[in-house]
A and B are shown apart, each in its own frame.
Chain A
Amino acid sequence: MKAFATLLERLVLTPSRNRKMEIIRDYCASRPDPYRGYAIGAITGDLKLKSVQPSLLRELMTQRIDAELFRLSYDYVGDLAETVSLLWGPAETAEAPPPLSQVVEMLSSASKSDTPAILSGLLDAMDVSSRYALIKLATGGLRIGVSARLAKQALAEFGNVKIEEIEELWHGLEPPYSSLFAWLDGSGAKPVAAGRAPFRPVMLSNAIEERELEDITPADFLAEWKWDGIRIQLVSDRGKRRIYSRTGEDISPAFPDLVEAMAFEGTFDGELLVRSPLGEPLAIRTFSDLQQRLNRKIVPKGMLSSHPAFARLYDCLLDGENDLREQNLEQRRNALAMIVDRLPPERFDLSPEVSFTSVDDLRDKRANPPHPVIEGLMLKRRQSTYRSGRPRGLWYKWKRDPMVIDAVLMYAQRGHGKRSGYYSDFTFGAWRDGETGMELVPVGKAYFGFTDAELKQLDKYVRKNTTERFGPVRSVAAGMDGGLVLEIAFEGINRSNRHKSGVAMRFPRISQIRWDKPAAEADRLEALEALIGD
Chain B
Amino acid sequence: MRPDALLHPAPQGLYCPPGDFYIDPVRPVERALITHGHADHARAGHGAVMATQRTLDIMAIRYGDEFAGSVHPARFGETTNVNGASVTFHPAGHVLGSAQIAVEKNGTRIVVSGDYKRRPDPTAEHFELAKCDVFITEATFGLPVFNHPDAATEIGKLLSSLDQFPDRTHLVGAYALGKAQRVIRLLRDSGYDRPIHIHGSLQRLCDYYRLEGIELGDLRPATLAEGAKNAGRDFAGEIVLGPPSAFNSPWVRRFSDPLIAFASGWMQVRQRAKQRGVELPLVISDHCDWNELTASIRDTGAAEVWVTHGREEGLVRWCELNQIRAKPLNIVGYEDENE
Contacts and interface: CB of A to CB of B under 8 A. Distances in A.
A82 interface: yes
Interface string B249-260: 111110000101
Contacts of A78: 271
B271 A421 contact: no
A72 B310 CA distance: 13
Given A69-B314, A72-B314, A421-B247, A86 B278 contact: no
Interface stretch (B75-83, B139-147, B197-205): B139-147
B18 to A, nearest CB: 36
A419 to B, nearest CB: 9
A515 to B, nearest CB: 21
Given A13-B278, A87-B144, A72 B247 contact: no
A472 B277 contact: yes
B276 interface: yes
B321 interface: yes
28 contacts: A9-B270, A12-B274, A13-B278, A13-B279, A13-B281, A14-B279, A68-B317, A69-B143, A69-B317, A69-B318, A72-B317, A73-B314, A76-B143, A76-B311, A77-B271, A78-B271, A82-B269, A86-B269, A87-B144, A87-B145, A90-B147, A420-B247, A420-B252, A420-B253, A421-B252, A472-B248, A472-B275, A472-B277
Interface in B242-296: 247-253, 258, 260, 268-271, 273-281
A83 interface: yes
Interface residues of A, number: 28
Nearest to A418: B257
B313 interface: yes
Contacts of B317: 66, 68-69, 72
A13 B145 contact: no
B27 to A, nearest CB: 23
Contacts of A105: none
Given A76-B145, A77-B271, A414-B277, 12 more contacts: A12-B270, A65-B144, A69-B314, A76-B143, A86-B146, A86-B268, A414-B248, A420-B252, A420-B260, A421-B249, A421-B251, A422-B253
A215 interface: no
Interface in A1-52: 9, 12-15
Interface of A: 9, 12-15, 65-66, 68-69, 72-73, 76-79, 82-83, 86-87, 90, 132, 414, 416, 420-422, 471-472
Contact of A421 (B250, B270, B274, B314): B250
B249 A420 contact: no
Nearest to A145: B274
The 9 closest A-B pairs by CB, nearest first: A421-B252, A86-B145, A421-B253, A73-B145, A73-B143, A72-B314, A13-B279, A471-B275, A68-B317
A416 to B, nearest CB: 5
Contacts of A414: 248, 277
Interface centre among A77, A414, A420 (most CB of B within 10 A): A420
A420 B260 CA distance: 9
B197 to A, nearest CB: 17
B192 to A, nearest CB: 22
Contacts of A86: 144-147, 268-269
Which of B258, B270, B277 counts the most chain A CB atoms within 10 A?
B270
A83 B145 CA distance: 7
Contacts of B313: 72
